[in-house]
Structure 1
Amino acid sequence: MQRQAVGDVIDGFTLTAPLKAGGMATLWLAAHPEHHGPLVLKIPFLDPGGDVSAILGYEAEELIHRRLSGPHVPRFIAAGDLATTPYLAMGYVRGDSLGSRVRAAPLPAAEVARIGLAIATALADLHRQGVVHLDLKPENVILDGDTAVLLDFGLARHALLPDLLGEESALPMGTAAYMAPEQVLGERSDPASDIFALGCILYQLAGGEEPFGRPRTVPGMKRRLYHAPKPLRLLAPDIPAWLEEIVARCLEVDRGRRYADAAKVAFDLRHPEQVTVGKRGPVSRRGLPRRLLDLFQKRDEREMTGTPTQARRQAGPALILCAVDLDAAQGDLAAAILAETGRLVAARADSWLACVSVLRTELIGETRSVDAQGRSLYIGRLVALKDWARPLGLPEERISYHVLEAVSAGEAILRYAEHNEIDHIVIGARASSALRRHLGSVSSKVVAEARCSVSVVRVRSGGEP
């Protein structure tokens, strides 16, 4: 991808000055004649032969950020096309990075409480919009007076959207120093994970160090499941007991004892006189099995997000997965799948469509990641998937696009459908052959093993479905 320079114009956005770059993207101050005030362009590093997690992070951030609003997130302006120059354009956020403030820690208790209240208020607003941040850390918080603005939604999870990153990997995702225990175990759905991260930040602000250090290995991250951090009072002898109690409740491994709602954290920080201070000792080894068992018990996501369970009982499926074979030789079949998909999404106005295509990987040997011209096969497939779905005319909030990399297309589709609680799958079936009858087909595997209803689309020899 071509490197940008001051004065470059991308879709009408003029780059005016570079900002501090991150590990996954470059940041630019920008201007646009149709948008008032300074803007920021975030341009991801998408190496054609690199890890697809960067592309997934960009796609996830675009899907989620465009759905967010309010004073605690940057204003979303636009997103670039993956086929040309991908970018996210957003409003410039004035204020100070919490990353610079944390370097001055330990801070006075009153300042720690003020910052904590600002972040808890921002988290409560984010969670009300159905989003868990999952990478809350000082560098992703801007403080403008008593208002906190949260940045970078590349690892976030939206309750009503597929979990792109969670589908790609079960390894822990986030920043090790602030990651919740359930995130270490691969769970990415609970707002309480952000509250744990907030507790880590408050501990660091008050005590001057991270509660669990900065482990670089998964076993090191898992230590927080059974090793409590040193008591905050040892690092900050003058900390009020009520503030120490709030931090400790944020850092509970057992989510039944942790704060379940960021708004309650904010309330306690506003009303310290109402905080009940309990006795806290070292972690009991006798209680470890019970604590681990509680940690593995997954909460009902509908209860978490407030989505009524009866909303999924209307006529027609709510969540539809369309598995698309983009092989050029399958043009008639792709058109027939499009027609069947259009019929299903028209059945109810609140349905949502996931368009999925599978890039086959090699079980033995190296898997090719670029084409003959050096272009990313993954991005090319993603662009082709969007082109295929364009005739459906669905608004952006009702459709998403996913390229899965797998040895077995059938296994990838089934795993995706189960992970995202899909109601109905649309899949094509190629013409029969002796070899396919012997080895089995992707569609037959999906029909046999799917935990939801499936429509199989076939095309007769004359090209009619």
Structure 2
Amino acid sequence: MPKSLVKVGAQIDGFTVGECVHAGGMATLWTVTHPGIDAPLLMKVPRVSEGEDPAAIVSFEMEQMILPRLAGPHVPHCFGTGDFARQAYVVIEQLPGTTLYPRLPDLPLPYEEARVLVAKIATALADLHRQNVIHHDIKPSSIMFRASGEAVLIDFGLSHHNHLPDLLQEEFRLPYGTAPYMAPERLLGVRDDPRSDLFSLGVLLYFFTTGERPFGEGETLRAMRRRLWRDPHPPRKLRPDYPPWLQEIVLRCLEIEPVWRYPTAAQLAFDLTHPDKVRLTARSERLKRDPLSVAWRRRFNQEATQPRPKSDVAAQIASSPILTVALDTAEGAAELNEALRVTTERILATLPSARLACVNVLKLNRLVIDRTLDEEGSNKHIDRMVALRHWATPLKLDESRLTVHVLEAVDPAAAILEFAEINQVDHVIIGARQSSFRRTLLGSVSSKVASEATCTVTVVRPPRMAADSEEVRADEAAG
């Protein structure tokens, strides 16, 4: 193994080495500069001296392969790598601030602060999973935040990339990770299920809102294996004021079987963003763990201890999208809303884990004060929520897969676009209304949504409108 070239003032591939800012068990961090890069930089260098853990070298190889393939605000930008033949390193942007680790003395955090915090982390995880990467080391010290508020995930040495060789899986039998946050299936050798990251995030949310880790501090393999059959104490046992919606979310993340957790990080983020829409089940009311008889059945269930079939990150995400259907509850929209229901039903039939958000926009006036009650004294907001649920009833969706939202905005198209962006919506389904002079002059809501949305948009027309082929072609061109 070549001797390390990294020291103060050294020149390596155009990077000038500054001071050592961190010396960890597996790597050191150095400030570096480059004449062609106007940004603060860090060089991460693995420990490769005699006696160092071989897994540290393998995990650094994984980070070298994965980091250059990642993009977006939720990961550090990578500026270069060096191989082990001369000098192994990774150069990344130096993020201001610290990780979440210094917040541990402040625990437990207020519920609302923890909700907002973890929702941002779930959003970052959703972006990472879309890039075919499972992090496998979600914990306070691997999470930072940009000045703009986005969560940033760091340290990808234990990660799995769906399109790259998994060196840790190939070379080591024991699971590597941080014991208190490790998902049960990791103990069975499963490294290709993105829901493992949701379990780890559930541990973090439990810890940040109760001040205690759900599985304690046990780091022995025997202690970790207990989570294959033993569930944690419900948070409400530790804190009687624990919100039911929050316990529902936490315990769903901590389900032993991945299939009972949230199907995607985006759906978890959606619930954290809309706590009032969380469907409460028996999880939310629990005060005790499962009885010992249930735990023993799990322990001696041979199927639970067998390796799982290989998973596919992209397929898992693709089968569990968030759909939004934009509806008009006004009179005269029945035919169009029926066409929207037929289209939505066809799409949902192929996506058994999809989430549906039914949206209506209560249009506000620009110059006059809006009234919350209609002419008959009914609350407009509530009436529209009831109408949305009535529209969705024939779809026969489980309550956990359906939410209704009445947005208040001056510009309906802008409101729908904002909702789709904030909630990581994958597909918007919207109706095209009949043409009118006003829509011809100002443009329709559907054409604006179709042209500006960053996700898939389906524009639906009722049968009587489809006959007008010229209008169809014009709307499709706008979409």
- After TM superposition, the score normalised by the length of structure 2 is 0.61
* Counterparts of residues 81-120 of structure 1 (less than 5 Å): 81-120=83-122
Give 2:134's aligned residue. 132
| Whole-Å separation in 1 of the counterparts to 2:263 and 2:294 | 21
With 34-43 and 15-24 compared, the bigger mean Cα shift is at 15-24
Give 2:274's aligned residue. 271
Contact 2:162 2:313 in 1 (8 A): no
Does residue 231 (structure 1) correspond to residue 234 (structure 2)? The answer is yes
| Whole-Å separation in 1 of the counterparts to 2:293 and 2:92 | 50
Residue deviations 1:210-240 (CA, integer Å, cap 9, x gap): 1112212100111112222222123333321
SS state at 1:189 partner: coil
Quote how far apart the aligned CAs of 1:286 are: 4.4
SS state at 2:31 partner: strand
Summarize the Cα distance change of 1:296–1:249 in structure 2 as closer, same or farther, 3 Å threshold: farther
Q: 1:67 aligns with which of 66, 69, 78?
A: 69
Quote how far apart the aligned CAs of 1:47 are: 2.0
Give 1:12's aligned residue. 14
Give 2:210's aligned residue. 207
Quote how far apart the aligned CAs of 1:306 are: 5.9
Does residue 283 (structure 1) correspond to residue 265 (structure 2)? The answer is no
SS state at 2:106 partner: coil
Does residue 301 (structure 1) correspond to residue 303 (structure 2)? The answer is no
Contact 1:30 1:41 in 2 (8 A): yes
Residue deviations 1:23-63 (CA, integer Å, cap 9, x gap): 10000121111112100100000125544322211111111
| Whole-Å separation in 2 of the counterparts to 1:253 and 1:74 | 31
| Whole-Å separation in 2 of the counterparts to 1:185 and 1:294 | 9
Give 2:153's aligned residue. 150
SS state at 1:301 partner: coil
Q: What amino acid is aligned across from residue 191 of structure 2 in structure 1?
A: R
Q: What amino acid is aligned across from residue 212 of structure 2 in structure 1?
A: E
Does residue 177 (structure 1) correspond to residue 180 (structure 2)? The answer is yes
* Counterparts of residues 240-251 of structure 1 (less than 5 Å): 240-251=243-254
| Whole-Å separation in 2 of the counterparts to 1:305 and 1:108 | 36
Contact 1:255 1:295 in 2 (8 A): no
Contact 2:44 2:89 in 1 (8 A): yes
Query: Aligned Cα RMSD in Å?
Result: 2.1
| Whole-Å separation in 1 of the counterparts to 2:67 and 2:315 | 18
| Whole-Å separation in 2 of the counterparts to 1:13 and 1:134 | 30
Contact 1:98 1:139 in 2 (8 A): yes
| Whole-Å separation in 1 of the counterparts to 2:143 and 2:313 | 28
Q: 2:262 aligns with which of 240, 246, 259?
A: 259
Quote how far apart the aligned CAs of 1:138 are: 0.5
Contact 2:189 2:307 in 1 (8 A): no
Unaligned runs of 5+ in 1: 309-465
Contact 2:188 2:307 in 1 (8 A): no
Q: What amino acid is aligned across from residue 28 of structure 2 in structure 1?
A: T
Residue deviations 1:410-457 (CA, integer Å, cap 9, x gap): xxxxxxxxxxxxxxxxxxxxxxxxxxxxxxxxxxxxxxxxxxxxxxxx
Contact 2:120 2:151 in 1 (8 A): yes
Give 2:409's aligned residue. none
Summarize the Cα distance change of 1:183–1:8 in structure 2 as closer, same or farther, 3 Å threshold: same
| Whole-Å separation in 2 of the counterparts to 1:132 and 1:303 | 8
Quote how far apart the aligned CAs of 1:17 are: 2.5
Residue deviations 1:86-138 (CA, integer Å, cap 9, x gap): 10001112233111123311000011001111100000000000000011111
Give 2:47's aligned residue. 45
- After TM superposition, the score normalised by the length of structure 1 is 0.63
Contact 2:108 2:209 in 1 (8 A): yes
Greater relative CO, 1 or 2 (CA 8 Å, sep 6+): 1
Residue deviations 1:175-206 (CA, integer Å, cap 9, x gap): 00100001122211110000000001111110
Give 1:187's aligned residue. 190
Contact 2:193 2:313 in 1 (8 A): no
